[in-house]
């Protein structure tokens, strides 16, 4: 993510009006706007695998899975994010571009968003009263981190690796099980795979990334 050249104190309404005509996806964090960068084929494959599994699981039920262009609004943090995958069980107009009450969010780590997904977004997403699970998926190794709400103020963190079963319990249609083979289907791990480059939004030193 790269900070956009916008006024320091852009209001949420100004941001939303600008997004209606923007050709780029931009996230909003309390007055600051950040442009979303492109993703690798591997990142895209992982997002599609997660979304496909969730869409099949929620079919004909009260919840819906969305990806790519749907924003999540975190009112308490005055922020709008574009998660990789989101599930909501609240009814909204079909022409809405915003999810207010997600129960599940997934982010696939990349070099350009690793710190944001694992630090800033963890703290911010957990301010959503409706959110029950936040899944962080690594793309250079078969590993996931699942943040699961225990009660209004407590979360547990589960780290799963290849060979273990990912169990999601955030949706009222029942628990969802997904294997690592399904999660990482069509994802290649050759050493020569081109990685995403860091952006100005990152502040860590080389070697600190774990995605």
- Per-residue model confidence as pLDDT tens digits over 92-129: 777 788 999 999 999 999 876 666 766 789 999 999 99
Q: Which of 81-85, 105-109, 205-209 has the lowest mean pLDDT?
A: 205-209
Phi (first) and psi of residue 55, to 5 degrees: -65, -40
Q: Answer yes or no: do 92 and 22 share one domain.
A: no
Higher pLDDT, 2 or 11: 11
What value does the mean pLDDT take over residues 176-196? 78
Q: Answer yes or no: do 55 and 5 share one domain.
A: no
pLDDT at residue 204 in the model: 30
Q: Answer yes or no: do 8 and 75 share one domain.
A: no
Q: Answer yes or no: do 96 and 29 share one domain.
A: no
Query: How many distinct structural domains can be found in the chain?
Result: 2
pLDDT at residue 98 in the model: 94
Count each helix (H run) and each strand (E run) in the chain, helices first: 5, 14
pLDDT at residue 176 in the model: 96
Q: What tokens does 160 get?
A: 């799963």
Instruction: Establish if 193 belongs to a structural domain.
Output: no
Q: Answer yes or no: do 163 and 126 share one domain.
A: yes
Q: Which long-range contacts (CB under 8 A, 24 or more apart) does 15-23 make?
A: 15/80, 16/80, 19/71, 19/97
Q: What is the pLDDT of residues 31-72, one digit of tens each?
A: 999 988 878 899 999 999 999 999 999 999 999 999 988 999
* 176-179 and 2-3 beta bridge pairing: unpaired
Looking up tokens 């996806």, which residue turns up?
A: 25
pLDDT at residue 11 in the model: 94
Burial 87-97 (b: 16+ CB within 10 A, else e): bbbeeeeeeee
How many other CB atoms are found less than 10 A from the CB of residue 168? Answer: 22
* pLDDT band at 3; cut points 50, 70, 90: low
User: Is the pLDDT score of 135 beyond 90?
Assistant: yes
**pTM to 2 decimal places:** 0.85
pLDDT at residue 110 in the model: 81
Which CATH number is 47's domain given? 3.90.1570.10
Residue 132 CA, distance from chain mean position: 14
Q: Answer yes or no: do 164 and 85 share one domain.
A: yes
d(CA 175, CA 171): 7
pLDDT at residue 149 in the model: 97
User: Is the pLDDT score of 199 beyond 70?
Assistant: no
Q: DSSP 3-state helix, strand, coil percentages of the chain (rounded to 5)?
A: 20, 30, 45
Instruction: Establish if 201 belongs to a structural domain.
Output: no
pLDDT at residue 202 in the model: 35
* pLDDT band at 205; cut points 50, 70, 90: very low
Q: Answer yes or no: do 29 and 119 share one domain.
A: no
Cα distances (angstroms) measured from residue 38 to each of 14, 93, 153, 160: 24, 28, 35, 27
Domain that holds residue 161: 39-183
Q: Answer yes or no: do 51 and 152 share one domain.
A: yes
Instruction: Establish if 69 belongs to a structural domain.
Output: yes
Instruction: Establish if 74 belongs to a structural domain.
Output: yes
Q: Answer yes or no: do 32 and 66 share one domain.
A: no
User: Is the pLDDT score of 4 beyond 80?
Assistant: no
d(CA 17, CA 93): 18
Q: Answer yes or no: do 61 and 137 share one domain.
A: yes
pLDDT at residue 195 in the model: 45
Instruction: Establish if 196 belongs to a structural domain.
Output: no
């Amino acid at each position: 993510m790269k900070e956009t050249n916008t006024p320091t104190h852009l209001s949420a309404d100004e941001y939303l009006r600008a997004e209606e005509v923007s050709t780029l996806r931009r996230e909003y964090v309390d007055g600051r706007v950040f442009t979303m960068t492109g993703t690798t084929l591997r990142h895209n494959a992982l997002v599609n695998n997660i979304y496909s599994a969730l869409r099949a699981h929620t079919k004909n039920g009260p919840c819906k899975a969305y990806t790519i262009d749907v924003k999540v609004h975190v009112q308490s943090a005055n922020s709008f994010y574009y998660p990789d995958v989101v599930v909501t069980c609240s009814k909204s107009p079909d022409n809405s571009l915003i999810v207010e009450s997600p129960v599940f969010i997934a982010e696939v780590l990349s070099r350009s968003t690793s710190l944001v997904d694992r630090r800033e977004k963890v703290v911010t997403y957990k301010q959503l009263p409706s959110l029950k699970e936040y899944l962080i998926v690594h793309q250079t190794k078969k590993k996931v981190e699942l943040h699961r709400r225990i009660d209004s103020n407590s979360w547990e963190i589960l780290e799963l690796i290849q060979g273990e079963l990912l169990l999601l319990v955030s949706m009222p249609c029942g628990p969802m099980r997904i294997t690592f083979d399904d999660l990482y289907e069509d994802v290649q791990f050759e050493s020569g795979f081109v990685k995403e480059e860091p952006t100005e939004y990152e502040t860590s030193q080389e070697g600190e990334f774990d995605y």
